[in-house]
Amino acid sequence: MEREVKLKPIAHIYAFAAVWVIWAMFLPMYKLWHFIVLLLVSLFVGFLFSKLFPGKRVKITIPEPEPEPFTSGNPEVDAVIREGELAVSEMKRLRTAIEDEKVRIKVSEIIEISEKIVKNVQDDHTFMQGVKRFLNYYLPTTIKLLNAYDRMYDQGITGENISGSMEKIDEMLDTLIEAYKKQLDSLFARHALDIETDIEVMEGMLKREGLTGNDFNRGEKKNER
């Protein structure tokens, strides 16, 4: 966020002081009227310089305030969410460090899916039971692999061990993307079952009351007769 502020001028202060110094060096200062004249002259010079050298208006960047950490009121849920947010933050740092564009794109996709998983837990605490293994094993292991890839890439050489390991990690990222997608999808298994049940119940009620498409059309034909 940017804000425009005016810097206070200081030229008039220096001018005020300069008048006193020059007067003390060359003019008398032992009578009352000397001090009165000196004060008036210094005030006039200070006022003149404040007009000649007004303050500048500059734009300064004010940092955004840190957002309040999320709290659900449940320490266990808060710990899970905080752990997920820290893991996502670490993956973003590693994505910045990794120079291979192809790998960075894969990491970005993993980050996007991970953020959705953490956000769903934050919005619906019932999802928490389905993400414990994801948070306790999959995310930390993914970060470990990315750290290893970044460290080996920084060596700047190709060799059987370094190149082979980097290729395996690259291939593993594709597998992880699919696994993360399935993890996100699995969170909605119970919701999908609830939706299917609601639809079946509603369809049954509509059919019993003759409000489905076919029954409704037959009712219209009877009325026409």
Alpha-carbon distance 185 to 87, whole Å?
20
Instruction: With CA atoms as reference, report the closest residue to 88 among 111, 57, 66.
Output: 111
Tell me if residue 58 falls in helix, strand or coil: strand
Please say whether the beta carbons of 134 and 117 come within 8 A.
yes
Element spanning 21, H or E:
helix 11-26
Mean pLDDT of 213-217: 56
- State the pTM of this model: 0.59
pLDDT of residue 108: 95
Residue 24: exposure state from Cβ atoms within 10 A (0-12, 13-18, ≥19): exposed
Look at the block and give the residue holding tokens 């009578």.
31
Residue-wise pLDDT tens digits, 112-136: 999 999 888 888 887 887 788 888 8
| DSSP assignment letter at 3 | E
Residues 134-159: tens digit of each pLDDT? 888 999 999 999 999 999 988 888 88
pLDDT digits (tens, 9 = 90+) for 70-106: 666 778 778 888 888 999 999 999 999 988 899 999 9
Determine the Cα–Cα distance for residues 208 and 196; give it in Å rounded to an integer: 18
Cα(131)–Cα(183) distance, integer angstroms: 8
> Hey, what CATH topology would domain 75-187 get?
1.20.5
Q: Which helix (DSSP H) or strand (DSSP E) does residue 29 occupy?
A: none
Residue 130: φ, ψ to 5°: -85, -5
Domain boundaries, the chain: 2-61, 75-187, 195-224
